[in-house]
Chain A
Amino acid sequence: MPVTLGPHLLLALLEGVVGALVLALTALGLSLVFGVMRIVNVAHGAFFMLGAVVTWYVSSATGSFLLALVAAPLAVGGIAVVADRLVLRRIGYEPESTIVATIGLLYILEQLVLMTYGPYARPVAAPIYFRIDFGWFGYSGYKLVVAAAAAFLLVAAWLALSRTTLGLYLRATQQDREIAQAFAVPVGRVYSLAFGVGGGLAALAGALIVPVQQAHYLMGLDALLLSFVVVILGGLGSLTGTVVAALVVGLADGAVSVLFSPTLAKIVATLLVGVVLAVRGRGLFGEELA
């Protein structure tokens, strides 16, 4: 019986694009935090997971997915701001200490979710349901809506960073924290904001994807790994690099997952980082936020 590759490739492409855009949104938060604050946030995957869990709670309680989509990033962003004020600020944003502190934050958040939400993977109904017929197969319309929403949010983030005063302050702080202060930028507040927005972006990605993936207390680990892969590959602190690397990794992940296996996809992504770092130590796009 002849095997046609077309449907597999199309499915891989669709899965890759959806995964890539959600990944770009998740990784953007990590990139923002590293770019502005110069810290590695190991708890970023936990923020992604919290976004999904809060979405489950809110949509279960109110029946409104849209309300959950607003509540999740606000709640998680708020938690991130509190963590910044209570923990990161007190240890002076010292790079090694913040890695240990955010590992601690990751475990605290995961265990709190395990204690309250439980070890179950719980589904959240998609707010809209339709299928698009590609001839060989039908494809979830909601997944394409997720991709479009993620793309819209990425453009909005780029506009906010490149066209607003707040974006100017974030970029100036990234480039020279001390001189930013000499031009009246309240760097402490900018740091809290960056950490809050970073957490909020991860939560938003988790909220968007939960009708497809289900909410589970360990779901942040893959998100964290792939976000690190993307941020390192794209160049630490570069928004453009983050988006380009997310597209490369997401498409590769989608294709290898569909055609071979998801485990092989993660191995390929990790190898990709190794190769890029060996050839170009600062990643694809260097050192710039927008």
Chain B
Amino acid sequence: MTLSLERVQAAHGEVRVLHDVSLEVAPGQIVGLLGRNGAGKTTTLRTIMGLVRASAGRIVLDGVELARLPAHEVPRLGIGYVPQGRRLFPHLTVEENMTMGLLVRGAGADARRDVLDLFPALRDRLGQRAGTLSGGEQQMVAMARALCVRPAVLLLDEPTEGLMPTLVARLLDTLGALRARGVGILLVEQKVDAVLGVADRVVLIENGRTVRQATPAELAAEPELLLRHVGVRRR
């Protein structure tokens, strides 16, 4: 299933945050979304999920116009979401957090087992309240909860935030494994090197507008693009 955004606009109350966002995520493709703080990366993901209403433009998944659906219908079409700051249900157990994902599309024991195979450390934590886990474990639960949806498209907002380098590497490996299974991934991330290392394509966003799309190789060849639009100078 391909997710596409065409000239999307969205606002927080009276303040328009997205002015013109267009991008596409194809099956088995990792698309990085890079931009400065406040550029509209998180709002883009929230708008896809229906948590912020799109005021113009189209958001389409497999021919279905998402912006017309109530927010709770969007994940049922096969979109998994790892929000910024993880936002687990802290008083629910790890098992219950995963169940929230499993219930979205009626996934069963197979999905649960597959996800636990990806994050075996969670097997010993299933009965523990999610809010009592370490930061790294919470990130695993956030990923596990989203993967329990059996998503065709996965939206990740700062998934490496607060993780040790070894855990970041493992997380990026996991993204590669998901890509190999045909999952399309839209990755918002502050760690530019991490994005360039794993993404097939990168979309640059500035002041609520997508301004450029390029491959990691093209961005490596034109480092001034990252400096201009993301504020990052690469060596």
Interface residues of A (CB under 8 A from B): 165, 168, 171-172, 175-176, 178-187, 288-289
Question: Are A183 and B101 in contact, CB atoms less than 8 angstroms apart?
Answer: yes
- Tell whether, in the assembled complex, residue A181 and residue B71 are in contact, meaning their CB atoms are under 8 Å apart: yes
A184 near B87: Cβ-Cβ < 8 Å: no
Bound state CA distance, A184 and B81, in angstroms? 11
Contact at B76–A184, with CB atoms within 8 Å? yes
Given contacts A168-B96, A168-B100, contact A181 B89 (CB under 8 A): no
- 5 A-B pairs, CB-CB below 8 angstroms? A165-B103, A168-B99, A171-B96, A182-B49, A183-B145
What is the CA–CA distance of A165 and B99 in the complex, to the nearest angstrom?
A: 9
Across the interface, which residues of B come within 8 angstroms of A185, CB to CB? 72, 100
Instruction: Give bound CA distance, A175 to B86, whole Å.
Output: 13
Query: Shortest Cβ distance from A189 into chain B, in angstroms?
Result: 9
- Give the A-B pair count, Cβ closer than 8 A: 58
In the assembled complex, the Cα of A179 lies from the Cα of B146 at a distance in Å of 11
Residue of B51, B100, B101 most packed against chain A (CB within 10 A):
B100
Quick check: B75 and A184 within 8 Å, CB to CB?
A: yes
Once the chains are docked, how many angstroms separate the CA of A187 from the CA of B75?
Answer: 14
CB-CB under 8 A from B91, the residues of chain A are: 171, 175, 288-289
List 10 tightest A-B contacts by C-beta distance, closest first.
A184-B104, A181-B71, A183-B100, A175-B89, A186-B72, A184-B75, A182-B81, A288-B91, A181-B72, A179-B87
With A179-B89, A182-B51 known as contacts, the answer to whether A187 contacts B72 (CB < 8 A) is yes
Q: Return chain B residues, CB-CB under 8 Å to A178.
A: 51
**Contact of A172 with B104 in the complex, beta carbons under 8 Å:** no
Chain B minimum-CB-distance residue to A171: B92
- B223 interfacial contact with A, CB 8 Å: no
* A residues in contact with B71, CB < 8 Å: 181-182
Q: Does B28 contact A (CB under 8 A)?
A: no
Q: Please name all residues of chain A whose beta carbon is closer than 8 Å to the beta carbon of B73 when the two chains form the complex.
A: 184
The interface residues of chain A lying within 8 Å CB-to-CB of B101 are 183
B69-99 to A contact mask, C-beta < 8 Å, 1/0 = 0111111100001010001011110001001
Partner of A184, one of B90, B96, B103: B103
CB neighbors of A among B93-123 (8 A): 96, 99-101, 103-105
CB distance from A35 to the nearest CB of B (A): 11
Chain B residue numbers with a CB within 8 Å of A289 are: 91
Chain A residues whose CB sits within 8 angstroms of the CB of B90 once the complex forms: 175
Closest chain A residue to B87 by CB distance?
A179
Q: How far is the CB of B198 from chain A (nearest CB, A)?
A: 23
Interface contact A183-B92, CB-CB below 8 Å: no
